[in-house]
Every structure is written in structure tokens, then in C-alpha cells.
Amino acid sequence: MNCSPAHSRAIDQINASCYDPSELQRFETRSEEETIELGRKIASQLPKRAVVLLIGNLGAGKTTLAKGIISGLGAAAPEEVSSPTFTLIHEYGSAYHIDLYRLDHAAQVAGLGLDEIFDREAVVLIEWGERFPELMPAERIEIRLSAAGGDVRVIEMLD
Ligand code: ADP
Ligand code: MG
């Protein structure tokens, strides 16, 4: 098992024993289903309380990965997880899924009361949170997703 940083691993080679909280982990998925499965594996590595920024362009797979993470946490089934584009915040018990795409100003974000959510014992997944870095907690996990041709997605996790 190669656990070196930034080494690309196929989905079936992901092993929780490789987890080093300070390393960059790099994965590739080849379908929506593989991204959901990766989300489940990431869920098993997360502490009970975590803020996770999902960073990537529209269609990169942020919401798909959130489905996997939330289902891996046992908070909801993947098909119950929908994009919070319009409602901004979805709560699934111990998991929150937030999408700040439609907000333009920090004052709008500040009005959502995110600090109170960050204080809870919950995993908080945020799409487009990197647009408001001053409102995100310093202690956070960042997952960057990018399309790499066809259905391939490169997914990098920095803890
Ligand atoms: P985002 O939230 O980043 O805008 P979504 O997760 O909503 O992205 O959508 C990703 C889209 O890309 C979906 O239509 C999905 O079917 C498609 N897709 C194709 N390949 C993949 C992959 N490897 N991982 C995730 N989604 C994929
Ligand atoms: Mg989305």
C-alpha cells in the first residue's frame, strides 16, 4: 500500500490506515457512484465535529461527494440529499450541507448564523465557502474537486 502524499490512488485502494491528518490525499473517481463511495470512506475518517469546504466548479461533484459523506455518516441516504442551492442550509441530524453559491456579500453569509452551527457536534459540509474565507473557521478540512476529462474527477483532501 503506497501511502505517500499526493499519490493518486484508485477508489478500491483507499485504505483508512493510510490516513495521516496532516497530509494531502489525492483520489480519482470515474463515475458519480465512485464519488459517493469515496464520500463514504471520507466520512469514516472525519471527527464528529468538522467543517469541510467542498471546493470546485459547477458540476465538479461537490454535491455528489456530500451525498456520500452524509450517507457514510448514517445521517441520510444519498437519494435524500439534494443540493441546498436555494435553501442554503440542509440539516441531516449530525450533518449539515450548506451551499453559499447564491450569496454575494459577506453580510448575507454572516446573517445565516453559521457560527452557531460550527459550534455543534456535527459535520458541516460547505459548497462555495472558500468565497468567504474570513467567515470560515481556521480549523477546517478542504476538499478540492476538478473534472479531468469525461467522468473523471480528481479529488484532493487537505486536512
Ligand atoms: P457540484 O455540486 O460540484 O456542482 P454535482 O455533484 O451537483 O456538482 O454534479 C456533478 C455532475 O457530474 C453530476 O451530473 C454527475 O452525474 C456528473 N459526474 C460525472 N462523473 C462524475 C464523477 N466521477 N463524480 C461525480 N459526479 C460525476
Ligand atoms: Mg452543488
Q: What is the per-residue pLDDT across 85-144, written as a single tens digit (0 to 9) for each?
A: 999 999 999 999 999 999 999 999 999 999 999 999 999 999 999 999 999 999 999 999
Q: How many CB atoms lie within 10 A of CB 74?
A: 12
| Torsion (CA) 83, 84, 90, 96 in degrees, nearest 10 | 80
Look at residues 111, 114, 131, 134 and name the one whose alpha carbon lies nearest to residue 122: 114
pTM of the model: 0.89
Distance between terminal CA atoms of the chain? 21
Give the DSSP H/E element, type plus range, for residue 77. Answer: none
Which pLDDT value is given to residue 15? 52
Region 70-80: what's the mean pLDDT? Answer: 97
Atom 19 of ligand 1, residue of closest alpha carbon: 151
Q: What is Dmax (Cα atoms) for the chain? A: 47
The ligand placed nearest to the CA atom of residue 100 is 2
Which pLDDT value is given to residue 116? 97
Cα of 69 from ligand 2 centre, angstroms: 14
Which pLDDT value is given to residue 23? 77
Q: 49 in ligand 1 pocket by Cβ < 6 Å?
A: no
